[in-house]
Amino acid sequence: MRILVTGGAGFIGSALIRHLIQDTGHSVLNLDKLTYAGNLESLAEVHSSDRYQFIQADIADRERVSEALLEFQPDAIMHLAAESHVDRSIDGPAEFIQTNIVGTYQLLEATRAYWQSLPAERREAFRFHHISTDEVYGDLHGVDDLFTETTPYAPSSPYSASKASSDHLVRAWQRTYGLPVLITNCSNNYGPYHFPEKLIPLVILNALDGKPLPVYGNGTQVRDWLFVEDHARALFKVVSEGQVGETYNIGGHNEQKNIDVVRGICALLEELAPQKPEGLERFEDLITFVKDRPGHDLRYAIDASKIERELGWVPQETFESGLRKTVQWYLNNLEWCRRVQDGSYQRERLGALENA
């Protein structure tokens, strides 16, 4: 297959592309605008593969996307490009509306024109896979409730509302125009190459620097965590074996309170970090409770039984094993983190832009 991945320089997109290049024989075109969240250094392992290409483009630029489609001739599109950070969406929703809603609309229109121009056999086999979040469902208040594929949408933040809108657009393009789409809604991801503004890398890096470890409210919000490489495997399963028009929830059966995640990281650092910041007795002493985020969802938890039953996907990592791998990865890759934190990843882009 020739697969066009949007947002492939991001956290999940780069894990997906590493999986596609390293573990399958498929070819990939990574189409990414390279916002602050796009980092080509996360693709260093596959950068020189002759099955990998990169193009810097905005999904909202329909003309440029159309050209890329005609030139690359994909058999599938896996759409991950998005503004993805909830706190940023609260401070400045405009970019979220532009990329997640308008951008998805423009991408759908470019895709529809390309798909309609394909010969019948390729049109039949073509797939548009939209990658979304469980945050579209809002939050759960009952302790035992789980989000299923039929849970009504009730997004709380500008981020989740913009993703919900894009899910609706994708479904409408199937119902109205017959575009062969698939949608996945996944729980919180964690793992290597996660941008340091997100909870797990933020806590690891702040702890190593002896800085406060911020926990919203009282830290009792529950999230269902999935190791990013398990998500990448699930996405490939869905695009290659999923039923057109279906939605699949993806989750790791790893419900954790935020405060327990932070404490877990501290415990791992006690064991794995080569040293502690001067004068610090225990990493846990750095935990600092901060004012809760407005509209903060209390609990997310995914019922992933459909993808397990129908496509035979199961996560390989438990939260314990995945968190250990993640903490160890950050300890081994402090240079990658430093280059993100000081901005050099954006200034020197591995010379990859020349190959655009």
Q: Catalytic amino acids?
A: 134-135, 159
Nearest residue to 164 (alpha-carbon basis) of 156, 172, 155: 155
The DSSP bridge pattern shows strands 127-133 and 181-186 to be parallel
Tell me how far, at minimum, the Cβ of 218 lies from ligand NAD, in Å. 22
Distance CA 226, CA 55 (A): 29
Instruction: Report the distance separating Cα 115 and Cα 112, nearest Å.
Output: 5
Shortest distance (Å) from residue 93 CB to ligand NAD: 14
Q: At which residue do the structure tokens 């981020």 appear? A: 159
The answer to whether the CB of 13 falls within 8 A of the CB of 232 is no
- Nearer of residues 103 and 264 to ligand NAD, judged by Cβ: 103
Smallest separation, CB 165 to ligand NAD (Å): 12
Residue in the shown chain whose Cβ atom is closest to ligand NAD? 10
Distance CA 248, CA 129 (A): 11
Non-local CB neighbours of 109 within 8 Å, separated by 6+ positions: 62
Binding site for ligand NAD (CB under 6 A): 6-7, 9-13, 32-35, 37-38, 58-60, 80-84, 99, 103, 131-133, 163, 186, 188-189, 195
Residue 5 CB, nearest approach to ligand NAD (Å) = 10
**Cα distance between residue 313 and residue 227, in whole Å:** 14
Rounded to a whole number of angstroms, the minimum distance from the CB of residue 281 to ligand NAD is: 32
Are 183 and 174 within 8 A, CB to CB? no
At its nearest, how many Å lie between ligand NAD and the CB of residue 345? 11
283 vs 330 by CB, closer to ligand NAD: 330
| Segments in the chain forming alpha helices (H) | 11-23, 62-72, 86-91, 94-96, 104-116, 120-125, 158-177, 199-209, 228-241, 258-272, 305-311, 319-332, 334-341, 344-347
Beta bridge partners of 185: 132, 249
